[in-house]
Structure formats: C-alpha cells, structure tokens
Amino acid sequence: MKYPDDFVNKIIQGDSLEIMKEIPDNSIDLVLTDPPYELDWRQSINFKNRKSIFHHKKETQKWDKGVKELYPALFKELDRIVKYTGSVLIFTRAEYITWALEAGKANHFDSKATIVWHKTNPIPQVRKKNYLSSIEMILWLARYDKKKCPFTFNFSNQKEMHNFIETPICGGKERTSHPTQKPLQLIEKLLSVHSNENDLVLDPFLGSGTTAVACKLMQRNYIGIELNPEYVKIAEARINAISKL
C-alpha cells in the first residue's frame, strides 16, 4: 500500500472521492474541511492595502454541481476512514446544514455542535439591499456512544469554549487569490480543540492550504486533497515558506 509515504504531509491534486478510496480504514483522527458551496464569483471588490476578495471568476469545478449530492458520497468515505475516536468539522452554509447532518447520521456520525464563525470585517454590502454576510456555520460530528465520550475535545476554560468564534477574514500578507480562504487563526483554534500533536488531519477540499499550514505549525500530520491545480501550487508555496523558516 502506497500510504503513508505518498499521502501523509503531502498535498495531492485530484478528485477527493477517488483519492480517499486509497486511504486505509480507521486511519484519520480529524477531518477539517470547507467544501464548495455552489458559489459563483462574479463581482470584484478591491480594498485599500489588501488583495481583492471577490474575483471576476466563476467556480466551475464539478463539486459545484450540487452539495446535496456531494454530502452523502463524502460521508460514506469518511465513515470508513475516520477513526472511531475521530471527528469531522465541516464548514457549510446555513441553508445546507440539514443535508450535511442527514448525510452524517446515515453514515454513523452524530451531531455534537454547530459552531458559528463571526467575521468581524465582512465584505460590505455595496448595493445595501441585504444584511452583510458575516457568519458561517461549522458542523462538528463524531461517533455516537451513549456510554462514554471517546472523541478528542481539549476544553480550555469556560470563557474560551463558546460555540461562537470571532476573527477577521483574511487580509494582508496572509491573503491569497482563493476566494473563500479561511483565516489561519480560525483553523488553528479548531485544531487545538479537536486534535492533538501527531494526529493525522484530512482536508479533502484543501483550497489555498490553510489546514495544512496550521497542521505544520502545530505539529499535526496532514493529508490535503485539492482538485484545482492552481490552488495546489498556492498551498505548496505556503507550506514551503514555513519549511524555510
């Protein structure tokens, strides 16, 4: 079996559902990922002293054909590869929460919590015809066991463990061209709670590589999978920059 030499602490370019078939059973400690939301990026807004957030670019990857179809296929593979003691953290829009939870339940994952990420500097409403989009949902799912609590959960203190996390969206030197890049501060917070050093973390929709970067900084092992070769190059460049420090 090629794994782990060809997988651990590597970024693999390709179709996540196909590549995950090569990952051994019961081997992943944590899945932390941000699947596509059927987005269509058409607008370009530039901000002083930071890179553009929106781009004149339409996301046309096949994952965008429908998250309702993606979740069951994804959780079917996760049921096989995630350890009994493992967890899944998945970003999703509020409109898609039911679909994700149904897919998880059908594949032996229990809903533990819904975490709200509040963006303290959301994209402005240029037309002023709606509320600013300042929150995203993060679902935490783990195996169901009514006798004990086997999953990793590093509770720090009452003040820090609210199911509400506030950070700004990416800006400055951290920002890449990826339109939905998550801030390193947010991903590090989630990793600190739901994993331990030397754990193996999977991100099957790696994007600009933030999960891999956070894992490397926090002494976790990772497997990153990304369909878009442009984003793979961005993620690899970020990892290489850490290696040179």
The pTM of the full predicted model, rounded to 2 decimals, is: 0.88
- Among candidates 109, 95, 161, 169, which has minimal Cα distance to 140? 109
- With tokens 């651990």, the residue in question is 8
Q: What is the pLDDT along the chain (245 residues), one digit of tens a residue?
A: 455 567 999 999 999 999 999 999 999 999 999 998 765 444 444 444 444 444 334 444 444 457 788 999 999 999 999 999 999 999 998 989 999 999 999 999 999 999 999 999 998 999 999 999 999 999 999 998 776 778 999 999 999 999 999 999 998 999 999 988 999 999 999 999 999 999 999 999 999 999 999 999 999 999 999 999 999 999 999 999 997 76
Give me the residue spans of the domains in the chain: 30-196
Q: Of the CATH numbers 3.40.190.10, 3.30.56.10, 3.40.50.150, 3.40.50.1970, which one belongs to the domain with range 30-196? A: 3.40.50.150
| CA dihedral over 77, 83, 84, 90, signed as positive or negative | negative
Q: Do residues 244 and 221 lie in contact, with contact meaning Cβ atoms separated by under 8 Å?
A: no
